[in-house]
Amino acid sequence: MRRVTWPTILRPLGVAAGVVLLLAGCGGAVSSHHTTTGGVVTFAEGAAAPPNYIFPLEPSADFSVTNSEQFSYMMYPPLYWFGNNGEPSLNPNLSIANPPTFSAGDTVVNITLKHWQWSNGQPLTSRDVIFWLNLLSASTDPNAPAIGSQSAPGPGWGAAVPGGFPENVVSYGATGTYSLTMKLNASYNPTWFLYNELSQIVPMPQASWDELSSSGPVGNYDASAETRVPLSGTSPAQYVPQNPGNATSGALGVAQFLNSQSQDLGTYASNRLWQVVDGPFRLAQFTSSGYAKLVPNRDYSGPSKPTISAFIEEPFTTDTAEFDALAAGALTFGFIPPQDISQKASLERRFGYTFAPWYGFAFTYFPYNFTNPTVGPIFRQLYFRQAFQSLINQPQYIKDFLAGYATVTDGPVPTYPAHNPDESPLEAGTPPYPYNPSRAVSLLRDHGWTVVPGGTSYCSRPGDGTADCGAGIANGQKLQFSLLYASGSVSLTNEMEAMQSALHSQAGIDLTLSTAPFSQVLATAFNGCTMANPCSGWELANWGGGWSYAPDYLPTGGELFGCGSASNGGDWCNSTTTANIVATHTAPNQAAEIAALFRYEDQLAEQLPVVYVPTVPLLQGLVMYKSSLHGVTPLDPFGNVYPQMYRFAS
């Protein structure tokens, strides 16, 4: 799962596929128009949400579609590509490896690479996959030291789940130049393991990146004895994950070095590391504000070679500024904010734009900080979460602020595509907690609160009995909370202010609102808070989007709601949730997988581990693109961009 931004669809969003005479499986529609080579595509980034991380092993605080699907994936595509002709499924044609095979009762995975190459002419081999795996193992080790301001080690993979990848891999190793094998610690559902574990892998150029410093030589540091040991009786290219401890060299040291280089935004375009790519584009220009110019990688091995001369990502601080550029005809691919939807016809007529809502395999929410010493005890009360959710008027927000382009969210599984088979009957039906202020007030009063509509409600019956406020809540404690949300979006601001007003006037719940850029809100909400290591720096945090299911493409929720998971903002930890998640991983067949998934999502629809808010097209993705640009639709459900498939009409 990856966080998406509000105005541009994530990870907190990008463009989709399609070209003239596309090969089957690439995605996109065949065009009957004549097209030409060359031309520059200008693409609008999300408001106040520019890319800020290039190394394809993102820490939790930088784990977003902005950084991956709409930036680094164009240079460093994953081993297995997901998103196929607008559908949320595996795309074998765009994948670097052939589909994996499973053996030994689904405890052994065999992977064979296609013969791609890096832009420096070197072949992409199994060693480049092992390099990523070695750095991943070091980066997610709980005993490794923290790095700078990062709350997780080396840099701490944002998709890390305790007991998940790579902990569920006993060993891995090359069986040939273009093949490798993984031995697992148990039998896993092959579909789940492909869609949610192997999907995370991004090959990296070991022969160019295996360094400990900018001035040092390239080596095999990731395979050093400090972090890896050879498998008995096998070649030195095969390794068993080991505890890196406090090693400053080896895989952890390499991960630390590459993480530090990725944090130096001003050198992205000049740093020799980032010039070695295997994707369809390479970075020609980049500024710390987020301006990015990508040009074709002429040595790209995959299908659909780029023909445009450049793909430029333009940063904007607000959706108003982005719309001004769109309204001036200055963008090839932009977004019309919901508050400006009335101008859609004018833009189509004046500049030849085409309108296309961008629906994604995602859902929108924001987390409670259950670890907060002051308000965490309130958030941990189910009745309070039920009351809070009952005060969220999703249908009204959709009508007033989102131009009708959104759906009610009542659980963690996407409502798109229509009739999604992963969506349970409960989640597809009437929301368990629809807007109902009277129910909210009754819930609070029944649990020891004196409710003061228009004022501030307070606990008047402390204690942990069934009719009391709950454990850890003091006599007289008030329902007062801070909510940090992402700046730059008028519709998000309107929604948060409407929520603030309703909570106060109807139930005496006071929200103090503040704003910050998208990346800062992410860093606040995903800062490693746990019940064992609580933090008081935030209470509610809304980055203005939600979650796109990538790179775990089956919506089983381990990264988001598993105890101790890297992207579990607020630290929801529930034994039933954990058991349900684990059951989806080990289901022996599709029927068992669906049954386990339904149990998981039904429990979270009822337990409300987060605040559910309207799910908008990837996120706020009301796309306007120049009609002369072919290959834009169908838009990708995971927020991937496919500029290698774009063609301008002649």
- SS3 of 320-376: the string is HHHHHHHHCCCCCEEECCHHHHHHHHHHHHHHCEEEEECCCCEECEEEECCCCCCCH
Query: 246 and 141, same structural domain?
Result: yes
Checking phi first, is residue 329 left (phi over 0); if not, alpha (psi -120 to 50) or beta? Answer: left
Cα 370 to Cα 484: distance, rounded to the nearest angstrom: 15
Confidence band, pLDDT 50/70/90 cuts, at residue 619? low
CB-count burial class (<10 Å; 0-12, 13-18, 19+) for 418? exposed
Q: CA end-to-end span of the chain, whole Å? A: 39
pLDDT at 148 over 70: no
CATH number at residue 109: 3.90.76.10
pLDDT at residue 383, rounded to an integer: 98
Q: Is residue 164 part of a domain?
A: yes
- How far apart CA 524 and CA 397 sit, in angstroms, is 25
pLDDT class of 3 with cuts at 50, 70, 90: low
State which residues form the domain around 178: 97-266
- C-alpha span between 519 and 522 (Å, rounded): 5
Q: How far is CA 598 from CA 108, 425, 429, 435, in A?
A: 28, 8, 13, 24
Tell me how far CA of residue 408 lies from CA of 240, 372, 553, 554, in angstroms. 46, 28, 21, 21
Q: Is residue 155 part of a domain?
A: yes
Of residues 326 and 416, more confidence is placed in 326
Residue 588 has pLDDT above 80, yes or no: yes
Residues 221, 106: one domain?
yes
Over 50: is that where the pLDDT of 202 sits? yes
User: In which region does residue 576 sit, left (phi positive, over 0), alpha (psi from -120 to 50) or beta (all else)?
Assistant: alpha
How crowded is residue 242: how many other Cβ atoms within 10 Å of its Cβ? Answer: 17
Beta bridge partners of 169: 184
Would you say residue 10 lies in a domain?
yes
Report pLDDT for 141. Answer: 62
CATH number at residue 426: 3.10.105.10
Burial of 589 (0-12, 13-18, 19+ CB in 10 A): exposed
Three-class DSSP category at 405: coil
Q: Is the pLDDT of residue 151 over 50?
A: no
Residues 196 and 333 in one domain: no
How far, in Å, CA of 315 to CA of 313, rounded? 7
pLDDT at residue 354 is higher than 90: yes
Indicate the range of 138-152, 347-361, 383-397, 573-587 predicted with least confidence: 138-152
Of 224, 245, 266, the position where a domain reaches its end is 266
Number of residues that make up the chain: 650
- pLDDT: is 164 or 313 the higher one? 313
Residue 204 identity (one-letter amino acid): M
Rounded to the nearest angstrom, the gap between the alpha carbon of residue 636 and the centroid of all alpha carbons in its chain is 14
pLDDT tens figures, 388-443 = 999 999 999 999 999 999 999 999 999 887 778 899 999 999 999 999 999 999 99
Is 310 a domain residue? yes
> Stretch 208-231: mean pLDDT, rounded?
77
User: Can you give the pLDDT at residue 143?
Assistant: 53
Helices 126-139 + 250-262 axis angle, to 10: 90
Give percent of the chain with pLDDT exceeding 90. Answer: 80
Residues 191 and 292 grouped into a single domain: no
Residue 573: the pLDDT is: 96
On whether residue 628 sits in a domain, the answer given is: yes
Residue 66 and residue 49 in contact, taking contact as beta carbons nearer than 8 Å: yes
- Per-residue pLDDT, averaged over 377-395, amounts to 98
Q: Specify whether the CB–CB gap between 219 and 211 falls below 8 A.
A: yes
- Whether the pLDDT of residue 332 is over 90: the answer is yes
Q: Which two tokens stand for residue 299?
A: 């040595």
Indicate whether 259 and 133 sit together in one domain.
yes
Quote the CA–CA distance of 70 and 45 in Å, as a whole number. Answer: 9
DSSP helix, strand, coil percent of the chain (3-state; round to 5) = 30, 20, 50
DSSP, residue by residue, 158-182:
TT--TTSTTTTEEEEEEEETTEEEE
Same domain, 429 and 562: yes
The yes-or-no verdict on residue 611 having pLDDT over 60 is yes
Query: Considering the domain boundaries, does residue 192 fall inside one?
Result: yes
Number of domains in the chain: 3
Residue 580 has pLDDT above 70, yes or no: yes
What are the distances in angstroms from CA 535 to CA 274, 374, 381, 574?
35, 10, 18, 19
Provide Rg for the chain, Cα atoms. Answer: 24
Residues 404 and 496 in one domain: yes
45, 130: one domain: no
| 330 shares its domain with 309 | yes
Are residues 8 and 64 located together in one domain of the fold? Answer: yes
Give me the amino acid identity at 517: P
Taking the C-alpha atoms of 560, 566, 571 and 573 in order, what is their torsion angle to the nearest 10 degrees?
70
* pLDDT tens per residue, range 501-537: 999 999 999 999 999 999 999 999 998 889 999 999 9
- Find the mean pLDDT for residues 166-170: 91
Cα–Cα nearest to 362, from 637, 78, 67, 84: 637
Average pLDDT over residues 634-643: 95
Q: What is the pTM of this model?
A: 0.90
pLDDT for res 93: 97
pLDDT tens, position by position, 4-40: 654 332 333 222 222 222 222 333 333 445 677 899 9
Looking at the fold, whether 314 and 371 belong to one and the same domain comes out as no
Question: Helices (H) and strands (E) in the chain — how many of each?
Answer: 16, 28
Tokens standing for residue 57: 């092993």
Is 115 found in the same domain as 63?
no
Structure tokens at 391: 């005060």
253 within domain boundaries: yes
Give the single-character DSSP code of 303: S
Give the pLDDT mean for 618-623. 76
CA-based torsion, 96, 102, 106, 108: positive or negative: negative
Report the distance separating Cα 417 and Cα 404, nearest Å: 17
Question: What is the average per-residue pLDDT within 30-51?
Answer: 83
Is residue 91 one of the residues assigned to a domain? Answer: no
Residue type, 349: R
Q: Is the CB of residue 265 less than 8 Å from the CB of residue 286?
A: yes
Mean pLDDT confidence for 136-163: 64
Measured between alpha carbons, how far is residue 415 from residues 228, 543, 616 in Å? 43, 21, 11
